[in-house]
Structure 1
């Protein structure tokens, strides 16, 4: 590890110049820690000692065969490229926003304070930086290719407003959302914007993720300085507005050095969107979807605590651990900021229990406590909104089939024996 220089030894600097290492085409060249450290030294020097122009920007020049890290230096800020030379003019506030946060993927961007289960963010430790103007911010979700997640998006918006956030709510959608659904989405607070689906050239063999590159469109919301993207299968339990103080890209870990794209802090950029489209055929996604693509494009992201995007899945190895997580799902006041529902979603099941118990492929995601927590949020909504969560005839047949198969498998949890009282069963 290279040490940071003694910045006090420098006077004001007109231009920061750095030679960046580039091990391409070696495997893993873009995860070279030394390469990251050179970027951080240059960026920190520019923030602390760089001369700012009238727009509040500092100048940096890099020489390298490889493009400088887009995690720190957006292509929007590239003013000139000549061969292996790259010149940037970067807003110093945006750059400071990134370098004041722990780089890489190991250390939490802002640890939760207090002991025990009721941990929360210490907002005083991560205040927003002073800006040239009022920052424009929004929560964003995306619906595409079907109307399956309309109910989830409605419940998500309700939960955001329930915890007191007044930020804009922007919903990107394609032609699969009908007018009555759009009215309901508007009524709950979303501002719908129509998009064209983006086809994934390398979807999974089972057909999943064929159009989930449509999520690229969140980077086109350039009327906002920063957005918090939320998947529509998430419910918010505590106010997440403090996430707008964190830099792009911030997310929770999925496994090892990879992040989960269900909750992301993003700085919109048309240039970044165009970069995605230029690389859409070349970048290999490890999971065949947007998450794998984003992890290749943003290597050195900032790690959020998992309570900001808590997965509804089997974590526990012991009964004690399971009880701990079950308690977290149901706690009042809430301990978790957001629950991310994997497997079949709560509104796709009868409310009586998590129907993932009835599926061999879903049992790893099954948790009744998390399931019931979602339904508590649903119960708070207006009756007109609840209509968007009705079960289709096809889905009711599916649920009955799942229960029949579970009974044949004689699963020991015996959820398949439960009496169904969900009124949607007969609607």
Structure 2
């Protein structure tokens, strides 16, 4: 797959994730990727950080953000997932590329993984745990009809994929179909992961080439829960995903706050941030830090299923924006 028509794609919805995207871009360049870097950003990213994103990435695109000022009709708030979902789906509109790999802005590349562009559409890694390790299963007689060697992946829910890393082919048809699917069916987990797993529901039955090894999306929860596995597979780890509240840009490294369960990958992220990003930020004041923490807390509320129903996350405005986008196509 040539690099002229392929790209790594990420999304920044606020200044915190913009900082994450900058470090992600430098991590990709550090490992010698030959593919373009493309960032999507929303109006939640400050003007100065937008400029930094445009400097570091090969290409950038501003995408629509939902800005609700009116009170939601509580009777209609049955789908609080659509806001997050809507924004991420814009990656399918980048039809200037033949193939892309989407990486969440809280991922960090530690080894070259350009081979992902040779994977078919749609490819992703199973969700959480360390599903490449096998556990023995028993107490079901039908298992005797299975071939040798048969086993179940380790914990989590590995029949679904994690949407922090996935290979896809941009397509306006797919984008429109996803929007229609979101409006009609919503999301079973309140976010883009539930929607994409429902839309690409055949993933678990597809050819094995569509299932990425966990080493392409190693979550920090697995790092702490599976220390032995991390040690065993460390040389194979290529992409780390900082899931949860302990985002590397929120940790007070100097004071020691939040360092109790800090991984070596957090320190690698911080080292690259210090060398390549921190000194070039337009504002490193406490005001920026406070803003980043506030914005990240809002996104965490979305992930936890507790959005601001009456404010910025009004369902009426989310649904309206999605329907308007469909009409524009």
Question: What is the TM-score normalised by the length of structure 1?
Answer: 0.52
Measure, in 2, the Cα distance between the counterparts of 1:280 and 1:397. 29
* Match status 1:228 vs 2:101: yes
Q: Which of 79, 83, 87 matches 1:202?
A: 79
Q: Which of 252, 258, 267 matches 1:355?
A: 258
What corresponds to 1:307 in structure 2? 215
Measure, in 2, the Cα distance between the counterparts of 1:377 and 1:327. 25
- Confirm or deny: 8 A CA contact 1:137 1:224 kept in the other structure: yes
After superposition, the Cα gap between the structure-2 partners of 1:217 and 1:369, relative to the gap in structure 1 and judged at 3 Å, is same
What corresponds to 1:385 in structure 2? 280
Q: Pairwise CA RMSD of aligned residues?
A: 3.1
* Match status 1:245 vs 2:113: no
**Cα deviation per residue 1:99-156 (whole Å; 9 max; x = unaligned)?**
xxxxxxxxxxxxxxxxxxxxxxxxxxxxx5xxxx986100111122x32211100000
After superposition, the Cα gap between the structure-2 partners of 1:356 and 1:287, relative to the gap in structure 1 and judged at 3 Å, is farther
* Match status 1:147 vs 2:15: yes
- Confirm or deny: 8 A CA contact 2:10 2:104 kept in the other structure: yes
What corresponds to 1:111 in structure 2? none
Measure, in 2, the Cα distance between the counterparts of 1:162 and 1:335. 17
After superposition, the Cα gap between the structure-2 partners of 1:201 and 1:169, relative to the gap in structure 1 and judged at 3 Å, is farther
What corresponds to 2:270 in structure 1? 375
- Confirm or deny: 8 A CA contact 2:16 2:293 kept in the other structure: no
Aligned residues: 248
Q: How does 1:24-423 map to 2 (within 5 A)?
A: 136-144=5-13, 146-197=14-65, 202-203=79-80, 210-254=83-127, 255-301=157-203, 302-314=210-222, 321-322=226-227, 325=230, 335-343=236-244, 344-352=246-254, 353=256, 355=258, 357=260, 366-381=261-276, 383-385=278-280, 392=287, 395=290
Deviation at 1:232, TM superposition (A): 0.3
Measure, in 2, the Cα distance between the counterparts of 1:294 and 1:167. 25
Whichever structure has more helix as a proportion of its residues is 2
**Matched residue SS, 2:163:** coil
After superposition, the Cα gap between the structure-2 partners of 1:388 and 1:167, relative to the gap in structure 1 and judged at 3 Å, is farther
Gaps of 5+ in 1: 1-127, 358-365, 400-427
Measure, in 1, the Cα distance between the counterparts of 2:270 and 2:111. 16
After superposition, the Cα gap between the structure-2 partners of 1:219 and 1:356, relative to the gap in structure 1 and judged at 3 Å, is farther
After superposition, the Cα gap between the structure-2 partners of 1:272 and 1:351, relative to the gap in structure 1 and judged at 3 Å, is same
- Confirm or deny: 8 A CA contact 2:250 2:293 kept in the other structure: no
After superposition, the Cα gap between the structure-2 partners of 1:398 and 1:155, relative to the gap in structure 1 and judged at 3 Å, is closer
- Confirm or deny: 8 A CA contact 1:198 1:212 kept in the other structure: no
Q: Which structure has the greater CA radius of gyration?
A: 1
Gaps of 5+ in 2: 68-76, 128-156, 204-209, 295-329
Measure, in 2, the Cα distance between the counterparts of 1:245 and 1:264. 12
Deviation at 1:203, TM superposition (A): 1.8
**Matched residue SS, 2:84:** coil
Question: What is the TM-score normalised by the length of structure 2?
Answer: 0.66
**Cα deviation per residue 1:51-87 (whole Å; 9 max; x = unaligned)?**
xxxxxxxxxxxxxxxxxxxxxxxxxxxxxxxxxxxxx
